[in-house]
């Protein structure tokens, strides 16, 4: 049951990061989950595990990390498509 909550929280974090960057409309729900989970790992590695932690994911650092991931991926995809 824990993994289901992790996926749900990861999807929400990825969707928030997509909304903050304005790049979320082109991302699907799988990409939102991946951005949220990878971003949470990056954010917690850079900023630590502070703030609310539903499903063991620190929300604020995870959102910051997911925003970084979404920006990097959108930059790379933009370079490949041009």
> For residues 74 and 62, which has the higher predicted lDDT (pLDDT)?
62
3-state SS, residue 65: helix
Provide the pLDDT confidence category of residue 81 given band limits of 50, 70 and 90.
Answer: low
| The pLDDT value given to residue 82 | 60
The separation between CA 21 and the C-alpha centre of its own chain, rounded to angstroms, equals: 11
Residue 40: name the closest of 18, 23, 64 by CA.
64
The answer to whether the CB of 32 falls within 8 A of the CB of 15 is: yes
Q: Taking residues 66-73, what's their average pLDDT?
A: 86
Is 71's pLDDT higher than 70?
yes
The residue ranges of DSSP E strands in 7-66, in sequence order, are none
Give 42-58 pLDDT, tens digit per residue. 888 888 888 888 878 88
């Amino acid at each position: 049951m824990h993994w289901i909550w992790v996926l749900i929280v990861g999807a929400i974090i990825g969707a928030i990061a997509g909304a903050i960057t304005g790049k979320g409309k082109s991302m699907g729900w799988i990409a939102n989950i991946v951005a949220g989970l990878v971003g949470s790992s990056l954010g917690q590695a850079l900023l630590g595990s502070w703030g609310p932690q539903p499903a063991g994911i620190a929300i604020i650092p995870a959102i910051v990390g997911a925003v970084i991931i979404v920006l990097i991926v959108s930059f790379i995809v933009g370079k490949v498509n041009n």
